[in-house]
Amino acid sequence: MLQLNVEMLKRVQGDPCRFDFLAELPPFELQGKNLSFPGPVKASLVVNSTGSALAVEGEVSGKLSLTCDRCLEHFDYSFEVPIKENYTRSTEGGGDEVVSFAGDILDITPEVIKSIILSLPMKAICREDCRGLCPSCGCNLNKDRCDCGKEDTDLRLSVLKDLIEKSSK
């Protein structure tokens, strides 16, 4: 969980508070897929008390385990997302732009996961030159070689040969 102890910001106003730490993030679901973090994420945040609200700004970086859309292998996707969010104590009520919280612990996990989801590419590809799976036999062309492509050309050639033989008759 990405939690900030903002107790001291209750008393001191005006002085921004820096938070640099590593934290474990829980797995989350996206489009029916369960996504998890292979290790802790790094948070570098500054929290400013504006009197009525706490303004959190900074970035969170780390790795997310994804499945390649082409070869279906797992790979670590590196992300670095900006965080900019305003929080207000629940007793003061929140507006559209503000997330409310209670107590001295500010849990920014939901907003961070939202930012990570927004940063994800439309298609998750393990590497730019991923060769994917063979459409005929399903083998991973990054690791294995198959003869499917070869047979295709052989087949086309033999059809051509047949045509030539027929037309010459």
| Sites of contact with Zn ion (CB under 5 A) | 68, 70-71, 126, 130, 134, 136-137, 146, 148
Instruction: Quote the least distance from Cβ 71 to Zn ion, whole Å.
Output: 3
Instruction: Report the side by side order of strands in the sheet with 53-67.
Output: 17-23, 41-49, 53-67, 74-89, 98-101
The three-state (H, E, C) secondary structure of 101-119, written as one string: ECCCEEECHHHHHHHHHHH
Residue 63 or residue 89: which is nearer to Zn ion going by CB?
63
Instruction: Quote the least distance from Cβ 161 to Zn ion, whole Å.
Output: 24
Please name the residue ranges forming H helices in the chain: 7-11, 109-119, 148-168
Instruction: Quote the least distance from Cβ 55 to Zn ion, whole Å.
Output: 40
Residue 95 or residue 138: which is nearer to Zn ion going by CB?
138
CA–CA separation, 95 vs 66, rounded Å? 35
Residue 18 or residue 143: which is nearer to Zn ion going by CB?
143
CA–CA separation, 76 vs 62, rounded Å? 9
CA–CA separation, 42 vs 60, rounded Å? 6
Residue 44 or residue 142: which is nearer to Zn ion going by CB?
142
Residue 48 or residue 140: which is nearer to Zn ion going by CB?
140
CA–CA separation, 63 vs 76, rounded Å? 6
Query: Three-class SS of residue 26?
Result: coil
Instruction: Quote the least distance from Cβ 169 to Zn ion, whole Å.
Output: 35
Instruction: Quote the least distance from Cβ 64 to Zn ion, whole Å.
Output: 15
